[in-house]
Amino acid sequence: MLSPDLAFERCANAAAAAAKTYPAFISYHVGTHVSAPSLHRERDVLRHVDVRTADDTAVIQDLPRGGNALGRGFPITPAFDALSYFTLSWRVGFHMEMSSDVHDVTPMTFEDPTKSTADVVVFRLREYRADYAGDSSDAPAGKTHITFVPFDFVKRTVKKPDSTFFLSDVYIDNATDLPSRVRFAGGSDISFVVDYGTVAGHWLVQHAHYEETLHGPLHVGLLHVIADAHYDDFSFPSQAPDPRLR
């Protein structure tokens, strides 16, 4: 049986390899439900998006007949590898307007220590303590579930704890070694979840969830906001679907 650290390493390597095989263009529909339960406010944001995967440049069409703009894959590109180092900017306003951006993405890759010629190899993730969850399965058709707790020395180095989140859970499809769900958690009740599925042989984001508690000045006043996005109607154009993506 693999250690949870090594199982995660192999999953991260599989995700990084899959990310290199994305088609040049992905078109999709995404419906994002934005809400602030304490204010009884909610809104659905419906968009069609054409994205160039090489640099996450996207043409975004508000549905049914709204504005058309150039930006990034909304709310995150379906070609996003969550097992990466990245920065997420996700904002929900008082009127339920929403903006999001993932940038500075660097996939995590690891050397396989089992190929070492040493008599003893000890493998441990540098920033987290990893363990198998109680519902984890090593069955060929099952899912491996690994939980992560950041070490205290890592948390002490965080400059903005209220807006920083850490890896919390990874579910791995045992048939492919690819992640099927990745969850992050952190300060201000932040929860960021990315769910994956396979469409026409491509490993893609099919659901994304983000929530956090917004603080007023001097932490006076709290507002919990939630954004939940579902992707569908994928296609993979062989040529740029819009001249701005050439």
Task: Name the strand (E) or helix (H) holding 239.
Answer: none
Task: Name the strand (E) or helix (H) holding 16.
Answer: helix 4-19
Domain presence at residue 246: no
Cα–Cα distances in Å, from 30 out to 77, 116, 232, 233?
10, 45, 6, 8
* CATH number of the domain where residue 198 is located: 2.50.20
How confident is the model at residue 145, as a pLDDT? 98
Residues 226, 201: contact at Cβ < 8 Å? no
How confident is the model at residue 111, as a pLDDT? 85
Question: Average of pLDDT values for 71-86?
Answer: 96
Q: What is the mean pLDDT of the chain?
A: 91
Query: Model pTM?
Result: 0.92
Domain presence at residue 221: yes
| Number of domains observed in the structure of the chain | 1
Domain presence at residue 244: no
Domain presence at residue 241: no
Domain presence at residue 242: no
Q: Which domain holds residue 117?
A: 4-234
